[in-house]
Structure 1
Amino acid sequence: MSRSLARGLLRGTLTLALVTSTTVLGSAVAHAATPRLALTALSFEQSTVDATQDNGSNRLTFTATNTEPDAQNLAGTVTLRMRSSLTGEWLGHDRVVRFDYNYGWGDVELVSGTPREATFAYHIPVRRYSDATTATWEVTKVTLSGDDISATVGAAKLSTFPGYRFTATTLIDLSAPTFSFLALNNGRDPYFYVKDDPAYFAISLTVDDYQSGFWKGSIKLVGPGGQSLSTQIDWARDEYSTGFRCGGSTSGDADGHYMPCSMEMKFPPGTAPGSWRVGQIVLVNNAGGRATYKNPAGPSMVVTSNSTLQATDFVVSPNPVDNWRADVTTELSMAVTGAVRGISQLDVTFEDQCSTTGQPYTKADGRLAVRVLVSSRARGCEVKKLSVRDGAGNLALYGADASAPDPQISIDQVPSTEPPTALSAALNPASIPLSQLANQSIRLTVQAEVKVAPVTSMPVYVYDADGEVVFQTSGYGGQAPDGSLTYDMSLGYWGLEPGQYTVGFMLYDASGLRSYWNMPDVSSSLTLPGGPVVLTITEG
């Protein structure tokens, strides 16, 4: 290795240039150096900043290079952190800002340059509060990316830039974070089935700290037998926006003065069945102020494996139900075993158009039962969640919506298998002068058989002597209790001439079955028992 190459490698802490050679037909050919990214300058405008007043800030300027010959972009992130002057440790949440030569991100400004070498600037808001009267802000990491390459500049290299940090004069934060709106996320039913698989859920709360801002924390749940589980409360810059994400929540501000959080938690297999609650919340602000809230008012949860209390032998009677024409009720009953101090609660959730009505009751044979209202719009419904609780607080839980065993309870509709049948049809009037056609409607009355599903529409078609349709309508209108259907045709504006016209129609029922009557252009059309329905238009 030559001395000049050795010196180049020693200077290139973050980058590596490779020069290789090969012999082609007896001649040496040098290859170009591997493209690389580098941070070549970085400094804060001020070495000290007075942050004791609002809106304290400092301007960070940095320059990056990209040696790709056809470089089209230069982007990355800058991470800044505050260091305590008391402990020398990092204090508070980091601040991550993005820069991009082609796209603007937040407050980062493109000062000048090209994708091969560009200078950027960022005005960092300086926190007014810390744990002492001074604090140090430092650039702790810079990431760089080009079109096909990336690099990371770590703390060791950054510290070689004289202006990589500055000192801030601050106020001392003697407060601590507070929280509100502690709840199960989306107000979900606080019942969880845990046996072979874990149960996942989210605890939501909003953290406030209007001095130094919220940094981090934890939530601890406590349950039977001394069991407990915890999760950390963390927040970060959202990857795909300029906002901030704390768990599943995507709002809040850059310093955590106001931070809604929704933290996912898990009841693992082996979780003790019974009542669980939030036993402790710990919150830490950006000045290191810590607050511990023991046994806060919040949601309680019940875990079960259906090992103590059980519901079995589910029966719906009557089933199927005839709800084609009106809402009906049926009964859902079950056998319950293992109950202590009786049954205190029964909740049933159906997928659609079915719901329990009235209070649960115990039948003479000891079965637990409840009435179920089945809407006339329902074509059947299944139980998605069912829970039973006894007087001692034990829980039995079933259904897909609770990630619990499927109780396989379905309410079916009486099936409709026969298409509608027309028994007779008549026109009133059956004959009309052409001069009166514009002033008088023609009523078609069809008597249809009353079957399982009612007829819901009767599209009407009028044919001339050549079998061509000269009038048609959708014919919406329901079937009367006696089976009849009527439709008033207005034919005055259809250019009809004197002559005879055949009136055909289709019957369409609520189950989707249909039949065709006196329609010469439909091969499956049926003929009415009394023959075709004919309208005569006379001269005059």
Structure 2
Amino acid sequence: MSRTLARGFLHGTLTLALATSTTVLGSTVAHAATPRLALSALSFAQSTVDATQGFVSNQLTFSVTNTEPDAQNLTGTVTLRMRSSVTGELLGHDRVARFDYNYHYGDMELVSGTPQEATFAYAMPVRAYSDAATATWEVTKVTLHGDDISATVGAAKLSTFPGYRFTANTLIDSSAPTFDSLALYNGRGPYFYVKDDPAYFALSLTINDYQSGLWKGSIKLVGPGGQSISTQISWARDEYSTGFRCGLSGSGDADGNYVPCSMEMKFPPGTAPGSWRVAQVILINNAGGRATYKNPAGPSMVVTSNSTLQATDFVVSPNPVDNWRADVTTELSMAVTGATRGISQLDVTFEDQCSTTGQPYTKADGRLAVRVYVSSRARGCEVTQLSVRDGAGNLALYGSNVSAPDPQISIDQVASTEAPTALSAALDPASIPLSQLPNQNIRLTVQAEVKVAPVTSMPVYVYDADGDVVFQTSGNGGQAPDGSLTYDISLSYWGLEAGGYTVGFMLSDASGLRSYWNMPDVSSSLTLPGGPVVLTITEG
């Protein structure tokens, strides 16, 4: 008997690659069989392990064959589950281990072989806790991937391998899963606009079970009229890393002892407006232990379609604002209709350096208003969220942050359209002996027109008689209230000779507009009303 045939009988499977033939005009043409992937061997090293004394593992060894002779890749996964000795049912979270012939990292070790026939080994950690003194672990699924083909080996086929399972002596889990930090995920606010489209959100919590670990669970919300929505808590191996993921949250551990979760939920169209709360959290551990937490401490949420309470006719006055040189305030007001028992709350969120200041107030004409602080750094502000609540708890909600109607509230900055203008410039001193250059700076004073945007920068350039730059500096500095700007020019290390030098400069304002003065190498340069600024360096 050939070695290949004997090996197939030894492992309980025999995979045959058959050729097919077709007769064409009296001749027979042979075709190669379709390539196949197969699991040819699988077994655990020990039929029984004792997990009661601490960490223990059991090595799983398996072999894969690929009849494609030119195959270069061989990857896949092995899924393992625990079976209860009490109920006979599969119990708890699965373990999914990955293998890869070419990249020897992660869960499994390549023992030997080629992409056509390879053997892998996996040291499977065994849980110390179950629902009884013993439990059975078994391989429930194997996925195989070659270059262009894939195959899945299911539980029925796996059970034909004598070593596909083993028994573990375990401790009995006496604890129940717990959780803390139940909140809206990522700082999400508690208000939701639901009309024609759903509103999506996530609830975060951290789940702990330091015996058998978390298996699964659920979260249930209740709202007005007995409406409710629920979501399942589940976690799994991250597809693209060695970590784990529960909803939107990464990290945690393979045993489910510590699992940060952020479970996505949604309020669908037709959700009842009003207050919603978490009514129940159910957690089930890997031993089947169940814990139900009713009415836990957590966030309350308010849903609205703006059908009862509305805010309209938004006005900012004054607008635009002149905040080029200092922080300013303006007023945001609106008409509110449908309020019951007055207005209890007004919140406004801006996208930039703006914020409300002080308490909302009602104007003589009945409009609801609030002062808005506008930072001198703001180049304009738009409202991204606005909410109004009345004394009965009704909510009106607006803004892109919450996928609600856009209130189209924008605080604009007074436009700056004219580049800076220099009125005059002078040097002190205008003439200096060459020997004094190391000991004395030359102060340039520029008188610029005070316009909408202040001048924020004045780079300075010194040119020789040929128009070449012999000195330059970034010259950052602000414009004084009287319009003047100064810069001290130090020429000590520039190796200048006696002669006349032209001093030019650029003026740049806070809006980004620029002008150039007495700069011969800039085509758009302007000439000062008093003519060029000239520094004379004398001998001596």
**How far apart are residue 501 of structure 1 and its match?**
2.0
What secondary structure is seen at the aligned counterpart in 2 of 1:157? helix
**How far apart are residue 412 of structure 1 and its match?**
0.6
> Equivalent residues in 2 for 1:281-360 (5 A)?
281-360=281-360
When structure 1 is superposed on structure 2, of 260-269 and 483-492 the one drifting more is 483-492
> Equivalent residues in 2 for 1:124-203 (5 A)?
124-203=124-203
Are the counterparts in 2 of residues 214 and 285 from structure 1 also a CA contact under 8 Å? yes
What secondary structure is seen at the aligned counterpart in 2 of 1:296? coil
Gaps of 5+ in 1: 1-7
* Aligned residue number for residue 4 of structure 2: none
When structure 1 is superposed on structure 2, of 264-273 and 489-498 the one drifting more is 489-498
Gaps of 5+ in 2: 1-7
Closer/same/farther in 2, CA of residues 91 and 449 from structure 1, 3 Å limit: same
Aligned equivalents of 1:229, 1:14: Cα separation in 2: 51
What secondary structure is seen at the aligned counterpart in 2 of 1:186? helix
Closer/same/farther in 2, CA of residues 538 and 315 from structure 1, 3 Å limit: same
**How far apart are residue 330 of structure 1 and its match?**
0.8
**How far apart are residue 120 of structure 1 and its match?**
1.6
* Aligned residue number for residue 473 of structure 1: 473
**How far apart are residue 14 of structure 1 and its match?**
9.9
What secondary structure is seen at the aligned counterpart in 2 of 1:96? strand
Are the counterparts in 2 of residues 15 and 37 from structure 1 also a CA contact under 8 Å? no
> Equivalent residues in 2 for 1:382-397 (5 A)?
382-397=382-397
Are the counterparts in 2 of residues 13 and 157 from structure 1 also a CA contact under 8 Å? no
TM-score normalised by structure 2 residue count: 0.94
**How far apart are residue 368 of structure 1 and its match?**
1.2
Are the counterparts in 2 of residues 323 and 413 from structure 1 also a CA contact under 8 Å? yes
**How far apart are residue 25 of structure 1 and its match?**
7.7
Aligned equivalents of 1:493, 1:533: Cα separation in 2: 21
Closer/same/farther in 2, CA of residues 29 and 358 from structure 1, 3 Å limit: same
**How far apart are residue 76 of structure 1 and its match?**
1.0
**How far apart are residue 424 of structure 1 and its match?**
1.3
* Aligned residue number for residue 443 of structure 1: 443
Aligned equivalents of 1:393, 1:290: Cα separation in 2: 36
| Partner AA of 1:494 in structure 2 | W
Q: Deviation per CA, 1:3-56: give whole Å up to 9, x if none.
A: xxxxx9xx9999674522245785423122221111111112222233333223
**How far apart are residue 425 of structure 1 and its match?**
1.4
Matched, 1:463 2:463: yes
Are the counterparts in 2 of residues 16 and 36 from structure 1 also a CA contact under 8 Å? no
> Equivalent residues in 2 for 1:54-453 (5 A)?
54-453=54-453
Are the counterparts in 2 of residues 349 and 385 from structure 1 also a CA contact under 8 Å? yes
When structure 1 is superposed on structure 2, of 438-447 and 402-411 the one drifting more is 438-447
Aligned equivalents of 2:46, 2:492: Cα separation in 1: 90
| Partner AA of 2:128 in structure 1 | R
What secondary structure is seen at the aligned counterpart in 1 of 2:168? strand
Q: Deviation per CA, 1:127-148: give whole Å up to 9, x if none.
A: 2222223222211111111122
Q: Deviation per CA, 1:216-243: give whole Å up to 9, x if none.
A: 1100000001000000001111111111
Closer/same/farther in 2, CA of residues 37 and 464 from structure 1, 3 Å limit: same
TM-score normalised by structure 1 residue count: 0.94
Are the counterparts in 2 of residues 425 and 446 from structure 1 also a CA contact under 8 Å? yes
Aligned equivalents of 1:137, 1:47: Cα separation in 2: 10
| Partner AA of 1:517 in structure 2 | W
Aligned equivalents of 1:336, 1:344: Cα separation in 2: 12
Aligned equivalents of 1:220, 1:377: Cα separation in 2: 45
| Partner AA of 2:113 in structure 1 | G
When structure 1 is superposed on structure 2, of 522-531 and 309-318 the one drifting more is 522-531
Aligned equivalents of 1:275, 1:364: Cα separation in 2: 32
Are the counterparts in 1 of residues 12 and 160 from structure 2 also a CA contact under 8 Å? no
Closer/same/farther in 2, CA of residues 467 and 108 from structure 1, 3 Å limit: closer
What secondary structure is seen at the aligned counterpart in 1 of 2:225? helix
| Partner AA of 2:329 in structure 1 | T
* Aligned residue number for residue 535 of structure 1: 535
**How far apart are residue 191 of structure 1 and its match?**
0.8
Are the counterparts in 1 of residues 129 and 173 from structure 2 also a CA contact under 8 Å? yes
**How far apart are residue 309 of structure 1 and its match?**
1.2
Aligned equivalents of 1:154, 1:299: Cα separation in 2: 43
When structure 1 is superposed on structure 2, of 43-52 and 423-432 the one drifting more is 43-52
**How far apart are residue 71 of structure 1 and its match?**
2.2
| Partner AA of 1:70 in structure 2 | D
Q: Deviation per CA, 1:415-468: give whole Å up to 9, x if none.
A: 111111111111111122222222211111111111111111112222222222
Are the counterparts in 2 of residues 357 and 373 from structure 1 also a CA contact under 8 Å? yes
Aligned equivalents of 1:104, 1:245: Cα separation in 2: 23
What secondary structure is seen at the aligned counterpart in 1 of 2:250? coil
Are the counterparts in 2 of residues 98 and 105 from structure 1 also a CA contact under 8 Å? no
Aligned equivalents of 2:55, 2:494: Cα separation in 1: 78
Aligned equivalents of 1:385, 1:16: Cα separation in 2: 67
**How far apart are residue 93 of structure 1 and its match?**
1.0
| Partner AA of 2:422 in structure 1 | A
Q: CA RMSD in A?
A: 2.0
Aligned equivalents of 1:39, 1:154: Cα separation in 2: 11
Number of aligned residue pairs: 531
Identical columns (%) = 88
